[in-house]
Copies of this chain bind each other. A is one copy, B any other.
Amino acid sequence: MPTQQTLHKAFKELQTILSPEHVTVDEQVLREHGYSDNSYHDEGAPNIVVFPSNTEQVAEIVKIADKYSLPIIPFSGGTSLEGHFTAPRGGICISFTEHMDRIIAFHPDDLDIVVQPGVQWEDLNLFLKEHNLFFPMDPGPGACIGGMVGTSCSGTNAVRYGTMKEWVINLTVVTPDGKIVKTRQRPRKSSAGYDLTKLFIGAEGTLGVVTEITLKLAVIPQVQAVAVCDFPSIRDAAAVVPEIIQAGVQVGAVELLDTVMMKAINLSSPDLGYAEKPTLFFKFSGASQMVIDQEIKIVSDIAKRHQGGEFKYAKDEKEKETLWEGRKIALWSSTLLKPNASVWTTDVVVPVSRLPELIKETQKDIETSPLPCPLVGHVGDGNFHVFILFDQSKPEEHAEAVRLNKNLVERAIQMEGSITGEHGVGIGKKKYLEKELGKETIDVMKKIKYAIDPKGIMNPDKVLP
């Protein structure tokens, strides 16, 4: 941990760059920037939080951190799940929430937009809606573009639109020596040099501080629809997915919720009246009603062949919202399954063909556990989450959550999968990274890390073991 003397000097110098109210050591603010209610790892607060307004200020802040070898931890939405923004070695937290939450440039003709890291994705989509555009990632509510770049997020739309890696054109990054780097220019594709953009996406702030992001945008599909269908077993439901893909239907989303999850949703909103069976939630989107109708016909036929129940299909805006509501409230509803429950949200991904096996093995493990564990999967990608419900005040329940998560992660690795599909590594999962990737691969990552950040000041203790 840095000495008080060092911190005092850094604090004074930071105040020469930012107005005094944008540099703080207020205990409450430090705590808010170092701890999360959604992750359950060893954590710590930063020593100083700064609220810069632009890239140049960030560069000056980083130069001070470099001078005093102080850790730099970037912070935007604070919704991450693996302790990404915690500060186990103290240091300076750069918070984008106050003054770096603006749109810098909007190019509707090019379908792109330049934003600061503190922009919330929901706010961005509100702005874009007027222009008939949207940004297709949908992580948890409150997430900001900065953190979404850091973790390489995605969400329910990934089966159609892909992940952050496919939707960022370029980044402006402050490197650990305080230089300002733009990863590339603004065309939609380029073969000019190493792909630094992708290198910083998913690097979780360990290689530099992202201060501006150019995002690709999509046109809002002219027609969208939502459908829901239940199945006698998870295996039946899962079998639908590859057939949809093989049929060439590009669904907007396909989400699998298990029986326990459907029970939780009914507890929270009995009016929705879902069957308490494994259920697939679909989004369809296209250029015309005709297109959608035909896709729905193909998908509902496939569902029927796999013992699907009634294929409920929403026709107007209100029905659509009601029908999707169950998926939307899944995480929150889970907490009703257990008093005083905290939710440990897991995240693994495997090749699509291995998903039924992974789910089956996971359910076996869950059934013998005292903790309720509803399950929801972005099944089109082979990505799924188990919500492990446990009481934080009970060490044995915490230990059981750790055990279930560990089993899940190791099972995914054995099935050619990844320890994280969209949440990132943080400190929570770095102990599993070598098991997934192997020592040699980690060594290449470490070489890159040390080449770019030789003092190791950028978000230390995250990602790399």
B-contacting residues of A (Cβ < 8 Å)?
A: 107, 109-112, 132, 151-154, 158, 162-163, 165-166, 175, 179-196, 198-199, 201-203, 207, 219-222, 242, 245-250, 286-288, 290-291, 294-295, 298, 349-353, 381-383, 413, 416-425, 429, 433, 436-438, 440-445, 447-452, 463-464
Known contacts A288-B294, A417-B185, A451-B447; A107/B191 CB under 8 A: no
Q: Is B425 touching A192 in the complex (CB atoms < 8 A)? A: yes
7 residue pairs A–B, Cβ–Cβ below 8 Å: A111-B245, A152-B195, A180-B440, A181-B441, A188-B352, A191-B421, A195-B198
Are B450 and A192 in contact, CB atoms less than 8 angstroms apart? Answer: no
Determine the residue in chain B with the shortest Cβ distance to A383. B189
Contact B451 A193 (CB under 8 A): no
Whether A349 contacts B247 by the Cβ 8 Å rule is no
> Which residue of B162, B219, B425 is within 8 Å of A191 (Cβ)?
B425
Q: Are B436 and A185 in contact (CB under 8 A)?
A: yes
Known contacts A165-B165, A192-B418, A194-B449, then 18 further A-B pairs from the complex at CB < 8 Å, ordered by chain A residue: A107-B353, A132-B246, A165-B198, A185-B417, A187-B382, A189-B418, A190-B349, A190-B421, A192-B419, A192-B437, A193-B202, A193-B442, A194-B199, A196-B441, A219-B245, A221-B248, A247-B287, A448-B448
CB of B219 within 8 A of CB of A424, answer no
Most buried by B among A151, A287, A436: A287
Contacts of A463 in B (CB 8 A): 193-194
> A418, B185: Cβ atoms under 8 Å?
yes
Determine whether the beta carbon of B287 is less than 8 Å from that of A290.
Answer: no
A107 near B452 with CB under 8 A, answer no
Is the CB–CB distance between B352 and A422 below 8 Å?
Answer: no
Copies in the complex: 2
Q: Is the CB of B353 within 8 A of A421?
A: no
Residues of B within 8 A of A185 (CB): 413, 416-418, 436-437
Tell me, in angstroms, the Cα distance from A464 to B193 when the chains sit together: 7
B445 adjacent to A448 (CB under 8 Å): no
- Contact at A444–B175, with CB atoms within 8 Å? yes
Given the complex, which residues of B lie within 8 Å of A381, measured CB to CB? Answer: 187-189
Q: Which B residue sits closest to A424, measured CB to CB? A: B191
With most chain B CB atoms within 10 A of its CB, the pick from A153, A179, A184, A188 is A188
A421 touches B187 (CB 8 A): yes
A182 to B436: give the CA distance in the assembly, Å.
10
Contact of A452 among B437, B438, B444 (CB under 8 A): B444
Task: Determine if A191 and B351 form an interchain contact, defined as CB atoms under 8 angstroms apart.
Answer: no
Residue of B nearest to A434 (CB): B193
Q: What is the CA–CA distance of A413 and B192 in the complex, to the nearest angstrom?
A: 11
CA separation between A248 and B433, bound complex, in Å?
40
* Contact (Cβ within 8 A) A194 B353: no
Contact A242 B109 (CB under 8 A): yes
Given contacts A181-B440, A192-B437, A444-B196, contact A186 B425 (CB under 8 A): no
A424 to B194 alpha-carbon distance, docked (Å): 10
Closest chain B CB from A152 CB (angstroms)? 4
Q: Is the beta-carbon distance between B452 and A193 smaller than 8 angstroms? A: no
Q: A179 CA to B132 CA in the complex, in Å?
A: 49
Expressed in whole angstroms, the Cα–Cα distance for A190 and B447 within the complex equals 21
* A351 and B418 within 8 A (CB): no
A179: chain B residues at CB < 8 Å are 440, 443
- Contact assessment for A351 and B247 in the assembled complex, using a CB-CB cutoff below 8 Å: no
A242 / chain B contacts, CB cutoff of 8 Å: 109
Residues of chain B with a CB closer than 8 A to A298's CB = 287
CB-nearest residue of chain B relative to A418? Answer: B190
The CA of A360 and the CA of B433, in the complex, are separated in Å by 51
Q: Which of B112, B154, B191, B420 contacts A192 (CB 8 A)?
A: B420
What are the 4 tightest A-B residue pairs by CB atom distance, in nearest-first order?
A: A451-B451, A198-B198, A190-B418, A109-B353
Cα distance A446–B298 when bound, in Å? 51
Query: In the complex, are the beta carbons of A445 and B351 less than 8 A apart?
Result: no
Q: Which residues of B contact A424 (CB under 8 A)?
A: 191
